Structure formats: structure tokens, C-alpha cells
């Protein structure tokens, strides 16, 4: 199915002005602005005389409008009529025969009801004009019947301008620009055989155009300052940031379940993407593009969550029945099944050798995958399904979010005391008013936890897990389905469901919206994962598409400036082969 991509054309309309070329500017400097008019009268007279000889001689002369056709006595006098004038407006002459006024029109102009004629009729169209010596009758344009020499409108169209006879030229004192009128009064160089014509319709107006308003609305965000446009389609960016509104790649994901509570997408540090489609799990190797199936849920059940281990060698699959399967990615074999949960395992998170699972009944279990008795600990802190679960990269804390709108931050120490439940969470936050599925630890500031609420809430809260304080809060327009911090920039990305189906990018700590890709999918963007390079984010939705977006730049031999410490703290990765406890 084709995802809605209304942004396709918008990207192109991001226009850059053509840079100035030095040569042009210098050329312009040479053009004396208006200075040619200093001596204009003289020039004109000089010119007009030469004008009479050849029509093309005055080509180089700035005073274009003053190029009179040969034998224009008037032009000379007119030239004289403006001694020492500043660079005057070029066009002063008005063909005497074409003064378009009639009393009818004037009346209408007064009332302001002129249907046709647009600006021209509303403007003070008539300007004076001088009466040329009785040399020739102004020729009438062929458009008006030759017979109508009076000052009335042609039969055809009562409102159209009328070629007036000399007699009807009237001086209209209410001119749009009085100076203009005054000038024209003196203007004596009106060539009779010139007409100034304008198309009878006014040009289409810009703002009132209904057919365009929708487009304008759509495109506005491209030119809006971040945050200034609340409803936007396409990508809003500040001036320096460009987010492609089109995904880099789209993969087909038939059968992807449109369930908010599940977590069906995971991207390993070995650049493999695991996606669960109904009952089957597939691994797509980003490097080779190959797809491998990783098993199938038992009959009648479905996969409810997938999560790669820190080193990418193992894949945990949570099943709707409550089982947690462990698969060897390399060999593609299932290593073990860890059962026990009473309902679907909708969330999984790895902490080295511990695989933590969040259950539909609100319980959180730690599984030590190395030992036979895998369940090493149980955390009971939710009364609703645990849909968000994420370990901090150093393994100190575990954050969990549930359908009971609660965010719990648990101590990460596991299992020293055997099987007993640890008791209470270190912090319990009840600020959200909807299910908390989006949870993410900040890679560069380990104490920060971002949590996002569902439809009713749609708020991102940033917590300090050390003090328990809420540092920032940001209301978004729609249900938050996941959160991803940028490893390279101080930004956080949120994916949304109802109603915008968008992907939004915010700066931290200002929480300013940097970009938004609206309608990133045709349905709610439910799942997301960040790639090991830190530049691509894959999103999945019920529209059965997996879209890869290039949001940031790849981390390449990155300095530790942004991150507090070296590579050990990379999100989703821990040093392989060091399964020892920190």
C-alpha cells in the first residue's frame, strides 16, 4: 500500500534564493541609480531629436518611457516640464485617447462597485491629461465602435473602460497619488499613438484563493519558525535543520499487528532488525538485505515483543501466552523457552545476561538466561499491563511504564537475595494520564529518563532518576508510542499515534520542536528503534510498513564530548564478552 506522502512535492519547494554573483553586483554599482535622470531633460531633448532619426537609437537610454516616436513636439516640451526632477517615475505619459473614464465608471468608482477592471478601475484611473494640439483625432481602438464618440460606455460592457474622446477627459482630483496627477497635468508629451493596456481581469489574489489555501496550509510549515505553526504537515524544521520527509527505505511488513501495547521492533548493534509479524519473527540484515525467519509462535498465539540482547547475538521473543523464547541469531535456532508468565509478554529489555520481561498482568520478571531456573526476580509495581520497559545502559536502573499510567524506576540490582520480590520501586511517577509506553534513557546524561503517555496524555516528561524530580514536560498533539534519544545530538525523537501518526523531533533541554514528519505512516506509528550507527530510526505501524528515516548523522569515531563516557554507554549495546557484573 502506498503510504501517504503528501510531502513529496514540498521537499522540492524548499527554495533557495539564487546567490548573488559578484559580477552582477558590480555591474549594478556601475549603473547610476537615477543619476541618469539628473540631466534628463537635456538628455531627452537631445535624444528626441536623434530619436526622430532612428527608432532604435535610444535603446541605451534609461529613459525608456521617454522615447517618443519621431516628431514629437510634445515630448520635448514635456521634457522641459520637469526641470531638475529627481529620477522621476518613468511613465508619465498617458495616451490621451485612452483615458478610461466615463461618468458611469466614475460613479461606480465612487461607490466602489466595479466588477471588472480590478485595480485599474478602482485606481484613479483618469489622470489628466493634456489636450494635444488639434492635430489629429485620436484614433479609436478597434475595440470600441467608432460611432460612439460620446462619453458613455460601450453597449457591450457597461463597466469596461471606454476610450474617451478628448472632450471627456476629466481631471480627477481624487488621485491615488496626487503628485502623480500634478505631474500629468504638466505632462505634455503624451504621444497620441500609445495606449496603455491592461488585461481586464485583475490577477488572481493570493490569500483568498480557496484552491490554494489548503496547499498553503500544507506547505506553511516549511517556512515557519519552529513552534510557530502548531498544525503542520510535512516536516517543520528550523532554518538549519533539514529532515527528509521521505523514508530512506520502506520495507513491507505484512501482518504487523496494530496493537499499541506490543513492542514488535528491535534493531541490534550488529545491524539486524527484528520484526514480529503476527506469529512469526523475522530478522532483516541491514547490511545484506537478507531476511531470515526466526521461528513461529505456537499455534493460536502471537508474538508480543522482540528484543535483541546487548551484543546482538541473542533475540528474546515474548509470546502472547506468556512464554519468553531465546533465540540464537547467528544460528537461527531457539535456545530455550522461559515460561511462567500468566499473560502476554508485551515488553522485554536486556541487561547483559538478564532478560527482563513485562507481563500483561503487571508483573515484571528478571530472567537470567544462563541458568536453568531463569526467573531470578519479580517486580510487582503495576496494576496494568507493562507496555514500556527499558534498562538504563549501565544496568543500575530499570524503568517501566504501564497501562495503569504509572512510571516505575527500579533498582537494577538483581537477584542477590534469591527469588523474593525486591519490594517497591525507587521512584513511582503517576503524572501521566494514559498508558506509558514510550520510555527512553538519555545516552549522554544517564540520569535522565524520558517517558511519554498515550492518547489521553500525549505528554513527554523528563525525569531525573537520581533525584526523582521532573525536569521537563512537553505536551504533544497526539498519543506517544515511543521515544528515542539521539546519541549524537541533544535531541529526542518521539513517535506518535492518534491523531497525527507523526514523528516529532525535539531539542533538549529546550523541548523545542525541531521537526515533525506528519503522517509518517498511514496508521499509528507504534514501534521504533534506532540503528547502531545512531542516524537511522526505523518505525513500524499497522499499515504494514517499516520505514527507515535518516534523522541524525552517523556517529563516526565520535569524541566523548557529547557522551559522558566512552563507548560503553551506547544505547542498546554493551561490550560483548563482558557479561560479568559491573
Partner 1 sequence: MSSKQANRQAITLKGSTKTVTEFFKYAVNTILFQREVYPTEDFTMVKKYGQTLLVTQDPALESYLEKILKQVEKWLLTGSVAQLVLAIVSKETRTPLERWVFDIKLIEQPPDSKERAPPKPEAEIQSEIRAILKQIISMVTYLPVIQEGTVFNILAYTSEEAEIPAGEWVDTDPLAIEAGKSQQVKMRSFSTDVHRVDAMVSYRYEPEQ
For residues 16-75, which are near partner 1 according to CB under 8 A? 17-18, 20-21, 24-25, 27-28, 31, 33-34, 36-37, 54-56, 59, 62, 64-65, 67
Q: Which positions from 186 through 205 interact with partner 1, judged by CB under 8 A? A: 192-205
Encoded one letter per residue, x for contact with partner 1 by CB under 8 A and - for no contact, window 141-180 reads xxx------------xx--xx-x------------xx-xx
Which of these segments, 82-90, 368-376, 520-528, 565-573, binds partner 1 (CB under 8 A)?
82-90
499 preceded by a cis bond (ω within 30 of 0): yes
- Distance from C-alpha of 97 to C-alpha of 92, rounded to nearest angstrom: 15
Cβ 346 vs Cβ 361: under 8 Å: no
Closer by beta carbon to partner 1, 100 or else 316: 100
Using alpha carbons, select from 484, 482, 507, 487 the residue that is nearest to residue 554. Answer: 487
Closer by beta carbon to partner 1, 112 or else 254: 112
- Distance from C-alpha of 547 to C-alpha of 538, rounded to nearest angstrom: 5
C-alpha cell, 276: 514480529
Which of these segments, 140-148, 337-345, 439-447, 461-469, binds partner 1 (CB under 8 A)?
140-148
Q: Which of 8, 9, 214, 582 binds partner 1 (CB under 8 A)?
A: 9
Cβ 364 vs Cβ 376: under 8 Å: no
Q: Which positions from 415 through 474 interact with partner 1, judged by CB under 8 A? A: none
Which of these segments, 120-128, 283-291, 367-375, 406-414, binds partner 1 (CB under 8 A)?
120-128
Distance between the two ends of the chain, CA-based, in angstroms? Answer: 47
Q: Which of 219, 251, 264, 272 binds partner 1 (CB under 8 A)?
A: 219
Closer by beta carbon to partner 1, 53 or else 240: 53
Q: Which of 2, 53, 147, 211 binds partner 1 (CB under 8 A)?
A: 211
Q: Which of 90, 332, 423, 567 binds partner 1 (CB under 8 A)?
A: 90
- Distance from C-alpha of 24 to C-alpha of 17, rounded to nearest angstrom: 15
Q: Count residues contacting partner 1 (CB under 8 A)?
A: 91
- 93 touching partner 1, by CB under 8 A: yes
Q: Which of 82, 437, 518, 524 binds partner 1 (CB under 8 A)?
A: 82
Q: How far is the CB of 174 from partner 1 (least distance, A)?
A: 12
Other C-beta atoms lying within 10 Å of the C-beta of residue 84: 9
Q: How far is the CB of 167 from partner 1 (least distance, A)?
A: 16
Closer by beta carbon to partner 1, 202 or else 415: 202
- Distance from C-alpha of 475 to C-alpha of 414, rounded to nearest angstrom: 35
Closer by beta carbon to partner 1, 98 or else 304: 98
Closer by beta carbon to partner 1, 14 or else 330: 14
Q: How far is the CB of 241 from partner 1 (least distance, A)?
A: 19
Residue 557 gets the label, from left (phi > 0), alpha (psi -120 to 50) or beta, of left
Long-range contacts of 156-160 (CB under 8 A, 24+ apart): 157/116, 158/104, 159/104, 159/105, 159/108, 159/114, 159/115, 159/116, 159/117, 159/121, 160/116, 160/117, 160/200
Using alpha carbons, select from 44, 112, 38 the residue that is nearest to residue 77. Answer: 44
Amino acid at each position: 500500500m502506498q503510504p501517504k506522502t503528501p510531502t513529496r512535492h514540498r521537499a522540492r519547494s524548499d527554495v533557495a534564493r539564487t546567490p548573488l554573483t559578484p559580477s552582477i553586483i558590480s555591474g549594478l554599482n556601475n549603473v547610476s541609480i537615477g543619476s541618469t535622470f539628473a540631466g534628463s531633460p537635456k538628455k531627452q531633448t537631445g535624444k528626441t531629436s536623434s530619436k526622430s532619426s532612428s527608432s532604435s537609437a535610444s535603446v541605451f537610454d534609461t529613459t525608456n518611457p521617454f522615447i517618443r516616436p519621431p516628431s514629437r513636439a510634445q515630448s520635448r516640451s514635456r521634457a522641459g516640464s520637469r526641470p531638475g526632477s529627481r529620477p522621476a517615475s518613468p511613465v508619465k505619459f498617458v495616451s490621451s485617447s485612452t483615458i478610461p473614464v466615463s461618468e458611469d465608471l466614475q460613479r461606480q468608482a465612487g461607490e466602489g462597485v466595479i466588477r471588472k477592471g480590478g485595480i485599474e478601475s478602482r485606481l484613479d484611473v483618469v489622470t489628466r491629461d493634456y489636450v494635444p494640439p488639434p492635430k489629429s483625432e485620436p484614433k479609436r481602438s478597434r475595440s470600441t465602435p467608432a460611432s460612439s464618440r460620446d462619453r458613455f460606455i460601450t453597449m457591450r460592457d457597461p463597466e469596461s473602460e471606454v476610450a474617451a474622446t478628448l472632450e471627456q477627459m476629466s481631471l480627477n482630483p481624487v488621485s491615488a497619488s496626487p503628485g502623480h496627477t500634478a505631474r500629468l497635468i504638466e505632462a505634455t508629451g503624451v504621444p497620441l499613438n500609445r495606449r496603455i493596456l491592461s488585461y481586464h481581469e485583475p490577477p488572481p489574489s493570493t490569500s483568498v484563493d480557496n484552491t490554494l489555501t489548503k496547499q498553503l496550509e500544507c506547505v506553511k510549515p516549511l517556512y515557519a519558525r519552529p513552534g510557530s505553526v502548531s498544525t503542520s504537515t510535512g516536516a517543520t524544521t528550523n532554518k538549519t535543520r533539514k529532515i527528509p520527509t521521505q523514508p530512506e527505505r520502506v520495507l513491507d511488513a505484512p501482518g504487523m499487528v496494530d496493537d499499541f501495547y506490543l513492542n514488535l521492533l528491535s534493531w541490534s548493534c550488529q545491524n539486524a532488525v527484528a520484526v514480529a509479524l503476527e506469529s512469526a519473527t523475522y530478522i532483516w540484515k541491514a547490511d545484506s538485505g537478507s531476511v531470515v525467519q526466526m521461528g513461529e509462535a505456537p499455534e493460536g498465539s502471537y508474538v508480543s515483543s522482540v528484543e535483541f540482547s546487548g551484543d546482538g547475538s541473542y533475540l528474546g521473543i515474548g509470546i502472547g501466552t506468556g512464554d519468553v523464547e531465546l533465540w540464537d541469531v547467528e544460528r537461527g535456532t531457539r535456545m530455550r523457552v522461559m515460561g511462567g508468565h500468566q499473560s502476554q509478554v508485551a515488553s522485554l529489555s536486556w541487561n547483559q545476561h538478564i532478560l527482563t520481561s513485562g507481563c500483561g498482568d503487571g508483573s515484571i520478571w528478571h530472567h537470567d538466561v544462563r541458568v536453568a531456573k531463569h526467573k531470578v526476580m519479580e517486580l510487582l509495581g503495576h496494576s496494568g499491563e507493562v507496555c514500556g520497559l527499558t534498562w538504563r545502559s549501565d544496568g543500575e536502573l530499570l524503568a517501566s511504564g504501564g497501562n495503569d499510567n504509572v512510571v516505575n524506576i527500579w533498582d537494577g540490582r538483581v537477584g542477590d537475595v534469591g527469588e523474593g520480590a525486591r519490594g517497591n520501586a525507587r521512584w513511582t511517577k503517576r503524572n501521566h494520564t494514559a498508558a506509558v509506553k514510550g520510555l527512553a534513557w538519555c545516552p549522554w546524561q544517564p540520569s535522565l529518563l524520558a517517558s511519554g503517555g498515550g492518547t489521553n496524555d500525549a505528554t513527554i516528561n523528563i525525569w531525573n532518576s537520581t533525584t526523582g524530580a521532573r525536569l521537563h514536560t512537553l505536551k504533544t498533539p497526539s498519543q506517544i508510542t515511543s521515544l528515542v534519544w539521539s546519541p549524537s545530538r541533544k535531541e529526542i525523537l518521539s513517535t506518535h499515534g492518534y491523531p497525527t501518526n507523526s514523528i516529532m523531533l525535539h531539542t533538549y533541554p529546550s523541548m523545542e520542536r525541531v521537526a515533525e514528519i506528519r503522517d509518517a505512516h498511514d496508521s499509528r506509528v507504534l514501534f521504533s528503534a534506532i540503528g547502531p550507527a545512531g542516524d537511522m530510526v526505523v518505525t513500524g505501524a499497522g499499515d504494514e510498513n517499516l520505514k527507515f528515516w535518516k534523522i541524525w548523522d552517523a556517529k563516526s569515531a565520535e569524541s566523548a564530548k557529547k557522551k559522558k563516557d566512552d563507548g560503553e554507554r551506547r544505547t542498546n549495546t554493551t561490550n560483548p564478552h563482558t557479561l560479568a557484573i559491573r
